[in-house]
Every structure is written in C-alpha cells, then in structure tokens.
Amino acid sequence: MEDERDLVTFTDEEGNEFDLEVIDYFEYEGKEYAVLVDAELPEEPEEDFEVCIMEIIVNEEEDLEEFVPVPDDLLDTLFAIAEKRMECWDCEAETCDGCENADE
C-alpha cells in the first residue's frame, strides 16, 4: 500500500493555489512546526530544493490547523533542527538515541 501524502493547499498573493507536502513535524519551545516541500518534487530530487518551515497553530473551536510563517530571527534555529532530524532518517539504528545525529 502506498503511503498517504500529507498535503496542504496554500493560496499565493495573486490567488493561485499550490500544494506543499509536510515531510516532518517537530516541537520547539512548546510550539509545533511543520517542514514542507513542493508537492511536485520527484521522490528522489536530483537538485537542491526549497524547504519551508511553518508554525502550526490549532484552532480547537473550528478543529482547524493554521500554518503561519515563523519570525526571521527563529529560522536559523528551526532549520538546524530540521536538518538534524532529516540526517537521522537514514540512520540504520533502531532508535537514533546513541548515534551522532541524535538530539542532545
């Protein structure tokens, strides 16, 4: 069975809709973040691709998740966390607790 993709539809400033795929979720300082890429990327991209990190704000009254941009001063920290997590995807250990890529 093929894995179901986690797609989110956004609308740009000109009213055009586009999809981004959530490839990871993580928490930092009590907030939840999503790592997103273009949904049209091939499974094994040959070139570098753009990665976006957005904060997820849950509206419990309407049972909705809102994806909002993060402040510029937090981007470097969040990208470092996301990069470290992605490095662990290829780790062959059953858990990554002891490897050099584990969160400290």
Domain ranges of the chain: 7-88
Contact call for residues 27 and 81 (beta carbons, < 8 A): no
CA 66/CA 59 separation, integer angstroms: 7
Q: Is the pLDDT of residue 47 over 80?
A: no
Q: Residues near 63 by Cβ (< 8 Å), separated by ≥ 6? A: none
Q: What is the pTM of this model?
A: 0.75
Q: Residues near 65 by Cβ (< 8 Å), separated by ≥ 6? A: 56, 57, 58, 59
- Which among 12-21, 43-52, 85-94 has the top mean pLDDT? 12-21
Closest to 86 (Cα-Cα) out of 69, 68, 65, 103: 103
